[in-house]
Amino acid sequence: MNNWHLVYKGYVPGQEGLREALCTLGNGYFGTRGAAPDSVADNVHYPGTYLAGGYNRLTTEIAGRTIENEDLVNLPNWLPLTFRIDDGEWFRLDDVDILSFRQELDLKRGLLRRDLRVRDALGHTTCWSERRLVSMSDPHLAGLCVELTPEDWSGQLTVRSALDGRVTNNGVPRYRDLAKQHLDVLELDHMGADGIFLRCRTTQSLIGIAQTARTRLYRENRQDEAKQYTSVLEGEVVQEMTCSVREGESIVVEKIVALHTSRDPGISEPGLEAWRTLEQAGRFDELLVAHEVAWKHLWETCDIDLRDGEVSEIPLKLHVHIFHLLQTASIHAIDLDIGVPARGWHGEAYRGHIFWDELFIFPFLSLRIPTLTRELLRYRYRRLPEARRAAREAGYEGAMFPWQSGSNGREETQRVHLNPESGRWIPDNTHRQRHINSAIAYNIW
């Protein structure tokens, strides 16, 4: 058994949600779920990209009450990448016959691979070999590299790449009746022949977000002179590239993406920085080399070598846990003023809130990256005035930290809860989990 590779064989729609979460790639600055690039949010797939500490508040009128929630925001989807043959339908995994399917998360290299053989309704068989990374070397870069090979057809191949700002927070079923439109798309544009741009802003916290993407086709390692067309649609910017391809000939598609926000230190503004970062970024394999070196150094510092003399899944599970911890609590989190969310920056469960999970991970981090432990403690320290205010309001001395924390350290737990069965509001007392304060005191000690 390989202790470094999480492998899924066969496509199982009912397992996609779990696979997307476990195959999330991140670097402590942002994370992207392991959704298929051709997918959209539906009952099977849920593409999601999340900024560490990227919260926004919305109010909802529901069952006679006005309630306010702060959520980790689903950012514009940078993944969209698909293709079509001649004037046929755009490829979607759920619309074709899947002849083979293998998905592999390489934990040592921080690389996601997907290898497919599919056949469309007209009998065209195509191989799709994908590699994906979210750079641990440069926290603002990510990339897709897809090799497309027609097995039994020749014709026109059109590749469609996009930045999609039409996303909402719709990943948790029981939150779906609540307000979920956290983004205002402000600008959609393109630069040069192969660059596209999206700028948006969160509606309440006013975090500015900029994404740029460069998509190119390569044939035999040389850039192909494909016909290109860019269009600005409602909430998304789309780029299409068309070239001729012969049976058995491979076309490599590279999509490199840069992400900056107004919370970044040392920048002018996120749009300018996103363009600059993309302009200076090399090809996918160049990004991969630097990314692998960064992960090599992390594993040299943080790996746990478990030898029990038996063949078991325990070492693999241990590597999966460490991998996701390092993607959540990363050296790139220093200076970001963030805590440790209970479910990582992997999705919308628990609304991305900070609970008391530092208690479980600080012993691991303090032995290996103590500067990161110190930085994560500062998240609590900066919110000490709010904790003191909460204690005074409750009639206590000292500081009373919230059970659920987000941007500014107020209590994010609801005081009343709508019972979905009865439709009645009932008290929600989960904010009384005061052991959070003991955990923080222990962490400081």
Indicate whether 206 and 135 sit together in one domain: yes
Indicate whether 34 and 113 sit together in one domain: yes
Indicate whether 121 and 238 sit together in one domain: yes
Domain assignment of residue 179, yes or no: yes
Domain assignment of residue 381, yes or no: yes
pLDDT above 70: percentage of residues in the chain: 99
Confidence class of residue 308 from pLDDT cuts 50, 70 and 90? low
Q: Structural domain tally of the chain?
A: 2
Indicate whether 174 and 101 sit together in one domain: yes
CB atoms within 10 A of CB 306: 12
* Per-residue pLDDT tens digits for 382-396: 999 999 999 999 999
Domain assignment of residue 290, yes or no: no
User: Could you list the residue range(s) of the whole structural domain that residue 278 is in?
Assistant: 5-283
Judged against a pLDDT cut of 90, whether residue 305 lies above it is answered with no
123-142 average pLDDT score: 98
Indicate whether 153 and 268 sit together in one domain: yes
Report the distance separating Cα 156 and Cα 162, nearest Å: 20
Indicate whether 274 and 187 sit together in one domain: yes
Can you give the pLDDT at residue 270? 97
Report the distance separating Cα 147 and Cα 284, nearest Å: 12
pLDDT above 90: percentage of residues in the chain: 89
Indicate whether 302 and 277 sit together in one domain: no
Domain assignment of residue 288, yes or no: no
Q: Full-prediction pTM beyond 0.85? A: yes
CATH code of 391's domain: 1.50.10.10
Indicate whether 322 and 436 sit together in one domain: yes
Confidence class of residue 1 from pLDDT cuts 50, 70 and 90? low
Question: Max alpha carbon distance in the chain (Å)?
Answer: 76
CB 60 within 8 A of CB 179: yes
What is the token pair recorded at 21? 């979460």
Q: Tell me the sheet residues that pair with 39.
A: none
Indicate whether 227 and 310 sit together in one domain: no
* Per-residue pLDDT tens digits for 4-28: 999 999 999 999 999 999 999 999 9
Can you give the pLDDT at residue 196? 97
CB 153 within 8 A of CB 129: no
Domain assignment of residue 146, yes or no: yes
418-444 average pLDDT score: 90
What is the token pair recorded at 398? 């000292």
What CA–CA distances, in Å, run from 259 to 20, 27, 142, 209? Answer: 21, 12, 8, 7
* Per-residue pLDDT tens digits for 208-246: 999 999 999 999 999 998 899 999 999 999 999 999 999
Report the distance separating Cα 409 and Cα 414, nearest Å: 14
* Per-residue pLDDT tens digits for 332-343: 989 899 999 999
Q: Tell me the sheet residues that pair with 244.
A: 156
Domain assignment of residue 49, yes or no: yes
Domain assignment of residue 289, yes or no: no
CB 443 within 8 A of CB 391: no
What is the token pair recorded at 419? 């019972």
Q: Tell me the sheet residues that pair with 198.
A: 188, 211
What is the token pair recorded at 294? 């960064």
**At a CB cut-off of 8 Å and minimum separation 6, what does 153 contact?**
85, 124, 125, 126, 247
Best CA proximity match to 201, nearest among 375, 54, 350: 54
Lowest mean pLDDT of 138-142, 305-309, 365-369, name the range.
Answer: 305-309
Report the distance separating Cα 434 and Cα 437, nearest Å: 6
Indicate whether 339 and 272 sit together in one domain: no
Judged against a pLDDT cut of 70, whether residue 353 lies above it is answered with yes
Domain assignment of residue 39, yes or no: yes
Indicate whether 258 and 209 sit together in one domain: yes
CATH code of 159's domain: 2.70.98.40
Chain CA centroid to CA 45, Å: 14
The residue among 260, 283, 306 that closes a domain is 283
Handedness of CA 388, 390, 396, 399 (dihedral sign): negative
Best CA proximity match to 55, nearest among 437, 419, 396, 412: 412
Indicate whether 263 and 299 sit together in one domain: no
Judged against a pLDDT cut of 80, whether residue 50 lies above it is answered with yes
Handedness of CA 38, 42, 44, 45 (dihedral sign): positive
What is the token pair recorded at 86? 């001649």
Lowest mean pLDDT of 12-21, 69-78, 239-248, 410-419, name the range.
Answer: 410-419
The residue among 283, 308, 329 that closes a domain is 283
Confidence class of residue 420 from pLDDT cuts 50, 70 and 90? confident
Can you give the pLDDT at residue 309? 66
CB 126 within 8 A of CB 148: yes
The residue among 283, 314, 337 that closes a domain is 283
Best CA proximity match to 140, nearest among 279, 266, 265, 30: 30
